[in-house]
Amino acid sequence: MKILVAGNGKVGETLVKQLSSEGYDITLIDSDTRVLEYELDKYDVMAVEGNCASMDTLRSADVQSADLLIATTGMDELNLLCCVTAHGMNPKLHTIARIRTPEYLEQAYSMRDTFGLSMSFNPERQAAREIERLIKYPGFLKRDSFARGQVEIVELRVDADSKLKDIALNSIHSIVKCQVLVCSVLRNGEAITPDGNFVLREGDRIFVTAPSKNLSTLLKNLGVVTKRAKKATLIGGGAVSYYLAQYLIDSRIDVTIIEENKDRCIQLASLLPKASVIHGDARDQHILDQENFDNSDAVVALTEMDELNIIVSLYARDRGVSQIITKLDKDSENRIIDNLPLGSVICPRKLCCNTIVRYVRAMKNQTGAATAIHSIADGSAEAMEFRVDASTLNCKTPLKSIKLKKNILVACISRGHETHIPNGDSSFEVGDTLLVISTANEVITQLNDIFE
Amino acid sequence: MNYKMIGKFTSLILMAEALFMIPALIIGLCLGEKSAISFLISIGIIFAVAVPLWLIGRKTDRRFSARDGFICVGLGWFMMSLGGALPFFISEEIPHFVDALFETVSGFTTTGSSILPNPELLSRSILYWRSFTHWIGGMGVLVFLLAIVPLGGGNQGFTMHLLRAESPGPEVGKLMPKMRQTAAVLYSVYITITILDIVFLLFGKMPLFDAVCTAFGTVGTGGFGVKIDSLASYSPYIQTVTTVFMTLCGVNFSCYYLLLLRNFTSVLKDEELRLYLGLIIGSTALIAINIRHLFPWNEAIRHAAFQVSSIITTTGFATTDFDLWPSLSKAILFALMIVGACAGSTGGGLKCARALLLFKGLKRNVSQMLRPNKIKTVRVNERTVDEKILANTNAYFATYILILIISFVLVSIGNDFSTGTNFSAVVSCFNNIGPGFEAVGPTCNFASYGVFSKCVLIFDMLAGRLEIFPLIILFSPKAWTSK
């Protein structure tokens, strides 16, 4: 499948990395030669220099034979024009555009056909949605749901006072008293697929697969308090803050936004009359303390600067805030950052990259292609959802006698409304939904790829 | 530096070379020649070196810098030349190893300079291998590997470094999104042209063996013939076919890809192609007029056209001894030697694309001298050329001249040839042509040079084929110290 990626910003690069490693033919369009050269040295892709909305550039990128165009330049207008033009040149083309200006969201949806858009995405809004989900159900660092919401993979951190500290995995059931599976452990930046004798240590981040109905039992038995959040403090007044504040206010949560730019403060105050907008520099701890920072149920660090977000989150942790969410744009896979207690880490570009990769895989529409995919453990592992169909091998064979590839784990089997964590005697049959965790280097695109 | 990856690629190159020796081995076995054994022994030796290298490089990470790409190509070609010289040396048909190496390097770099007084004395399998080295070296063995060897999934940006280091021209780009497809397209065009050439030669009643070997020499723009007088004794038809195919192979191969895509306008408007064809037509006309007293009209044009395309594409075949032509004709041929073929072709030399960039850059400099505040960009094919490429082209030209001068001085050590002979020998080897003038003219050979001069010429041939930097970097101590 041929994919054109227009604009090589943060999202563009993440997409190129992921999609080229999955074997698609990628052509990258950008107006900056230096950026293109840098990408060419890193990935096996083709580069075309020029304005992505001009017919000439699109022609030299061979838009006529492309299957999908993803427009991710920094300008919404350019993205839309690019999609309209490309769609006009090749009516069969699927197009995805990044639309981040709130004012355009409506027409991007209702005038989709005019723009020739198959899908639009907004990294900031998606990040806000994700953060809202975390604030509404505190306790987990990250949640990914699968099998129509029946199964979730949640991320937990083993703290000094955690009940899970120094516990071997085969005795974990005596503590949590429900069906769960620890599918991956991130220790010192390295993802480990643990076995029963694996002993958890302080500082480990664990990824737990559990049927959704068991989540509250899990939290209760781990002693994590799940009280409803009433007050949230957002540091930084960017687009994510705006969307998030809207959602939180709708759910009757008090929102305080601290922003250092006065004009932006005035703008936010008029857009969000119910929020308290504070003009001040988040570097100044005095300002944070004045706003009863430590009384918040959640602190979300959303400034433009990753470094500042990290400092704010560390300070919040020091003051005993129970839920901390940190936005990191650049280096969310940095090993040093990994060891800091930053609470949940949100990376907007990764979130929307995952959405687009899902779209691409669905477009490929191969029998047995993954219906959902989430990268977990900071990208070292992938959780994929597959439907078992007639072409799937090894149906009705007990798992213990199936030879799976190395670093592959079948984490969950859902049949109808029943969901269970498999053991050696479990088997799957046609119609089931499987959740597969892979830490392997090679890309799994079809269910049958997991078998040896 | 990623030693393991370099080891892995060197080993792959050697294994590919062993694979390429098999046809020669089969020919030797079928004809019952003694030299067949030398191929068997060579394949054995090559594997004995390649397999340990493979084992070392088996598990490697993918960090691969531009420097690694250069070293990989330089070292790979050096090892390949050593391996390729083995059959000549073991079969004792070329008794000295330096001579055997000279012949092999001359083959792989598509030069066509020979140290053999009479190639007709060689056995068939050796003769086949000698011509086949042109074909392997023409498009490049790493491009071949990129097309066939599965490098696994994941991000393969590093392959760009290899393509850049091995392919000639100031600006190397991909034709298709994936390196593998690009390499496969290049090789399919290459193979198609080779087969067409063989078929056309067979129509001219050329014996099959001669046709295959000549086609390898033509399409790789090498110039090893199977006869002592190169192509002089073949019919005018065969000479004309060869003229056409030499010219075709001096064209940037991406033009053929564009033709396949039916994009005729960009091919017709390509400035490099226009310059290349213009040079061929203009030089042919000038030379034909200049040599009209030596031949009848039609023969003068045929010889002129043959010689011009043979020299500009850096093939180096000859239909007549052009060393006997008037000075103007020789001067034109000498100039064409330096210009060379198009970038991205199998030919050598400075490349028409670089000549174009140098000329346009010079024009800009002059106009900026007259009006110092004028801002002007250099444009080729209606696109602005990046300043970095212009700077690289100027640097390349300076290095090119420097190497030419140093080699000329070094080659002149310990021999009594004329200045013209020595200089044309260096120009001819460095631009991968084959014959030079005077004592290394089309009817002569390089046998009488000493061992040291031959080594200098071997370096020149490799430097010319790989466009200097991959080879220079091998001799730079900084390149070998790990960060």
Q: Hey, is the C-beta of A20 within 8 angstroms of any chain B C-beta? A: yes
Of B78, B72, B66, B99, give the one whose Cα is nearest residue B17: B78
**Termini Cα distance of chain A:** 26
Q: Concatenated DSSP letters for A176-233? A: H-S--EEEEEEETTEEE---TT-B--TT-EEEEEEEGGGHHHHHHHTT---PPP-EEE
Distances, alpha carbon B359 to alpha carbons A312, A400, B363, in Å: 59, 72, 6
Cβ distance of B174 and A25 shorter than 8 Å: no
Minimal CA separation from A63 to chain B, in Å:
13
Minimal CA separation from B264 to chain A, in Å:
14
**A94-98, strands of its sheet edge to edge:** A46-49, A25-30, A2-6, A68-71, A94-98, A119-121
Question: Residues A225, A205: contact at Cβ < 8 Å?
Answer: no
**Average pLDDT of span A309-326:** 88
Question: Residues A422, A410: contact at Cβ < 8 Å?
Answer: yes
Q: Hey, is the C-beta of B387 within 8 angstroms of any chain A C-beta? A: no
Cβ distance of B155 and A21 shorter than 8 Å: yes
Q: Which one of A17, A30, A35, A44 makes the best mutation probe of the B interface by having the most chain B beta carbons within 10 Å? A: A44
Residues A151 and A217 in one domain: yes
- Residue A195 within any structural domain of the chain: yes
**Average pLDDT of span A138-153:** 77
- Take residue B461 and report the two structure tokens written for it: 């041939």
Collapsed DSSP state (helix, strand, coil) of residue B384: strand
- Residue A349 within any structural domain of the chain: no
Domain hosting A190: range is 139-221
Closest residue in chain B to residue A21, using alpha carbons only: B154
Tell me the percentage of chain A whose pLDDT exceeds 70. Answer: 95
- Take residue A296 and report the two structure tokens written for it: 């918040």
What distance in Å separates the CA atoms of residue B40 and residue B95, rounded to the nearest whole number? 18
Collapsed DSSP state (helix, strand, coil) of residue B292: coil
A322-359: pLDDT as tens digits: 888 999 887 656 667 767 777 888 888 888 888 888 78
B301: left (phi over 0), alpha (psi -120 to 50) or beta: alpha
Q: Hey, is the C-beta of A68 within 8 angstroms of any chain B C-beta? A: no
pLDDT score at B56: 82
What distance in Å separates the CA atoms of residue B437 and residue B331, rounded to the nearest whole number? 10
pLDDT score at A334: 65
Distances, alpha carbon A32 to alpha carbons A3, A40, B422, in Å: 19, 13, 47
- Return the number of other C-beta atoms located less than 10 Å from residue B405's C-beta: 12
pLDDT score at B153: 47
- Structure confidence at residue A396 as a pLDDT band (50, 70, 90): confident
Residue type, B48: A
Cβ distance of B155 and A42 shorter than 8 Å: yes
Cβ distance of B178 and A44 shorter than 8 Å: yes
Least CB–CB distance from A46: residue in B159, B177, B180: B177
Domain count, chain A: 4
Q: Is B275 exposed, middle or buried (0-12, 13-18, 19+ CB in 10 A)?
A: middle
Distances, alpha carbon B3 to alpha carbons B58, B69, B466, in Å: 11, 11, 20
CATH number at residue A199: 3.30.70.1450
- Residue A126 within any structural domain of the chain: no
Residues A203 and A254 in one domain: no
Tell me the chain B residues in contact with residue A41 when contact means C-beta distances shorter than 8 Å.
66, 157-158, 160-161
Closest residue in chain B to residue A441, using alpha carbons only: B154
Tell me the chain A residues in contact with residue B66 when contact means C-beta distances shorter than 8 Å.
41
Locus of tokens 């063995």: B141
Q: Hey, is the C-beta of A42 within 8 angstroms of any chain B C-beta? A: yes
Ranges in chain B, pLDDT < 50: 153-154, 483
Cβ distance of B157 and A39 shorter than 8 Å: yes
A434-445: pLDDT as tens digits: 888 887 666 777
Between strands A68-71 and A2-6, the pairing is parallel
Cβ distance of B153 and A43 shorter than 8 Å: no
Cβ distance of A41 and B66 shorter than 8 Å: yes
C-alpha torsion A232→A234→A240→A242, nearest 10: 80
Q: Hey, is the C-beta of A25 within 8 angstroms of any chain B C-beta? A: yes
CATH number at residue A239: 3.40.50.720
- Alpha-carbon dihedral sign for residues B261, B266, B272, B278: positive
- Residue A345 within any structural domain of the chain: no
Residues A102 and A143 in one domain: no
Tell me the chain A residues in contact with residue B176 when contact means C-beta distances shorter than 8 Å.
25, 46
- Ranges of H-type helices in B264-378: 264-269, 271-290, 297-312, 327-339, 352-370
Cβ distance of A40 and B160 shorter than 8 Å: yes
Closest residue in chain A to residue B182, using alpha carbons only: A46
pLDDT score at A333: 62
Question: Residues A178, A221: contact at Cβ < 8 Å?
Answer: yes
Residues A239 and A198 in one domain: no
A289-306: pLDDT as tens digits: 888 777 888 899 999 888
Residues A380 and A443 in one domain: yes
Q: Report DSSP state, residue A448.
A: G
- Residue A341 within any structural domain of the chain: no
Cβ distance of B177 and A25 shorter than 8 Å: yes
Least CB–CB distance from A46: residue in B153, B174, B386: B174
Residues A102 and A9 in one domain: yes
A36-82: pLDDT as tens digits: 888 887 888 888 888 999 998 998 888 988 999 999 998 999 999 99
- Residue A58 within any structural domain of the chain: yes
Cβ distance of A27 and B179 shorter than 8 Å: no
